[in-house]
Amino acid sequence: MNLVIDVGNTLIKLAVFRNNTLVFKKEVAEHSIKNEIFEIKKHYPTLVTAIISSVGKLEQSTLTFLEGEFTLTVLSVQVRLPFKNLYETPKTLGVDRIALVAAGVNQFPHQNILIIDAGTCITFDFVNSENTYLGGAISPGLQMRYKALHNFTAKLPLLERNVPTELIGTSTNTAIHSGVVYGVLNELEGVINQYKLRYPDLSVILTGGDAKFLSKQLKSSIFALSDFLLEGLNYILQYNINE
């Protein structure tokens, strides 16, 4: 059994895998992680191996605690990866993107894959059918766009995401929703179509916090997979254990 720890910008996701099967998942704040780990180990006493991926801030004391409880793999580009990486600046490649690519090559082997992670940022990552990661793109996510309109103007309100009822906004609020949501949807559709011109047999995976919200409105054929990053981390851990 494996423990997967995904440290995001606000919360930490804890997941337990039995081989390839996700059997437990919970989001916690860092201040409560020790108690949660003790509870998890009570339910899964054979749990000894773990992997951690961090794009957020993690206290050294927390990392030290985890190293004392588990045989811990800290994900970085130095870890043995199940794909060839052609990214020109590998040291700046986010560990979340590495995990997503790993999930892609595991679940969609020998396929051209575009992985879209719709979270704080929207990341696009492409892996070709030869198991080679070529790179992708990074752009602002939904909430970042709403916040930018509010923070960089004097009078525009800060809104929560909402599905526009009309293309033409007839008030400031509806105009913001139309601009942000349709802007993101058109961006996703446009990027997908550009990739499909080069790779007609493309498989598209959509994941991340806004995946469910966006997938209902996309016209393109996609796989909406909510636990894709966690599954990628588990695969990297297994890949290294079995080397």
79 in a known ligand binding site: no
96 is catalytic: yes
232 in a known ligand binding site: no
95 in a known ligand binding site: yes
147 in a known ligand binding site: no
Beta strand extents in the chain (DSSP E only):
2-7, 12-18, 21-28, 49-54, 71-74, 84-85, 113-118, 121-127, 132-140, 203-207, 223-224
Q: Which of 96, 201, 210, 227 is catalytic?
A: 96
Let me know: does 194 contact 178? Beta carbons within 8 Å: no
134 in a known ligand binding site: no
96 in a known ligand binding site: yes
87 in a known ligand binding site: yes
From the number of C-beta atoms within 10 Å of its C-beta (0-12, 13-18, 19+), residue 167 rates as: exposed
117 in a known ligand binding site: yes
12 in a known ligand binding site: yes
131 in a known ligand binding site: no
Angle at 24 between CA 9 and CA 69, to 5 degrees: 75
Residue 175, CA distances (Å) to 26, 94, 168, 180, 211 in order = 36, 33, 7, 9, 22
Residue 214, CA distances (Å) to 41, 138, 176, 186, 238 in order = 36, 17, 16, 11, 31
Work out the angle between the directed axes of helices 60-69 and 33-43 (0-180°, nearest 10).
10
239 in a known ligand binding site: no
Work out the angle between the directed axes of helices 142-151 and 183-198 (0-180°, nearest 10).
130
227 in a known ligand binding site: no
Q: Which residues are catalytic?
A: 96
Known binding residues for K(+) are: 117
Known binding residues for substrate are: 87, 94-97, 172
Known binding residues are: 6-13, 87, 94-97, 117, 120, 172
Known binding residues for ATP are: 6-13, 120
